[in-house]
Amino acid sequence: MPGRGGGPGEQDACRINFFELKYGPALTPRNIPMKSIIIIIDYFGRWPEWFPIFLESCRQNPTIDWLFHTDCSFKGIDIPNVKFKYISPEDYIKRVSETLKIKFQPREAYKLCDLRPATGYLYAEEIKGYDFFGYGDIDLVYGDIRRFYTDAVLQNNVISTHEWCLCGHLALIRNKPWLRVAFKRIKNWKIYFEEPEYQRFDEDVFTQVFRSSTSSLVRPDLLGIRYRRKLYFFEQYTTPLTPNKWRNGAIDHPQVWYWKNGKITAEGDHADEYIYLHFMNYKVARWMDARYGNKAFWDGLPSIVHVAPEQIPKGVRIDRFGFHPIHGPSVDCAT
């Protein structure tokens, strides 16, 4: 089964039938004086090497919940605001196919990203009671999300960390029935989902529902204008090493990053925080700008995590050689 991991999941005794879990104990919105948020991530295969760092950055955002649907082992992970539900790849495909009434046949791991706009529809029970549901990636480290997504920002209906599109690595959508089915406004949405390869439905296509009144991809709707109101598409500069200019107008992007006390900063820019660091271009060169080379920094390195688990809460530095203790030297595994 394609997944974002890449190897078979580890079996463990914690596994429970997904359909039973759907109606059993689950995350519920807590009694907190702010808008409640749940981020749902579907991931199959094997957790990446940096996953403990990702999880610690979730822990440092205690007023936001995460829910994983996965076949990876989650035994021993005990973080109050991060929950896991086991589902086999076969049952996942069956659930998607039956719920959406399509023939879902993913040929590659990345294909699962196309389904993100249907998150609220697929998991209506899991998100019940939350003000917002969201989806995203795990090749990132979160900063202080609430510092950026304040009560004022959360007055909007659709929230993105990119200006140009509804961002795939973190998007929030108000938990309303008409927004849970917004993906169905795309003509031929079933065809996009049934294509075996990734179609960029989550970013390029789905964005048209909210940003265009004339797109030929979108079904006409007498209430269509409501989809184009209360939008917060604000560029947060989360993804370095792209061809775009950085937030200070510079061509060159920061290459050394710091996560400490739940906050993300960049070298030479310590006075300003970022909502998260999306280190996609450190892993693979597919979207990396050519001026940084033709090979991703971490491509070919035998290991990229050089910080012990007990050191992670103290802080982490991220650079071209991987993850390190925040005050320790870089470990160049290439030499």
Model confidence band, residue 271 (pLDDT cutoffs 50, 70, 90): low
Model confidence band, residue 18 (pLDDT cutoffs 50, 70, 90): very low
The answer to whether 250 and 288 are in contact (CB under 8 A) is no
Q: What percent of the chain has pLDDT over 70?
A: 87
- 91-to-14, 65, 70, 98 alpha-carbon distances in Å: 17, 24, 11, 10
Examine the pLDDT at 1 and tell me if it is beyond 60. Answer: no
Model confidence band, residue 212 (pLDDT cutoffs 50, 70, 90): confident
- C-alpha 311/C-alpha 333 separation (Å) is 20
CA 324 from chain center: how many Å?
23
- C-alpha 187/C-alpha 56 separation (Å) is 40
Model confidence band, residue 28 (pLDDT cutoffs 50, 70, 90): low
Around Cβ 300, how many Cβ atoms within 10 Å?
Answer: 9
User: Which domains are seen in the chain, by residue range?
Assistant: 1-236 (3.90.550), 239-335 (no CATH)
Q: What integer pLDDT is reported at residue 156 of this predicted model?
A: 98
pLDDT digit string, tens, across residues 57-114: 999 999 999 999 999 999 999 999 999 999 999 999 999 999 999 999 999 989 999 9
- C-alpha 166/C-alpha 117 separation (Å) is 10
Tokens matching residue 271? 């006075």
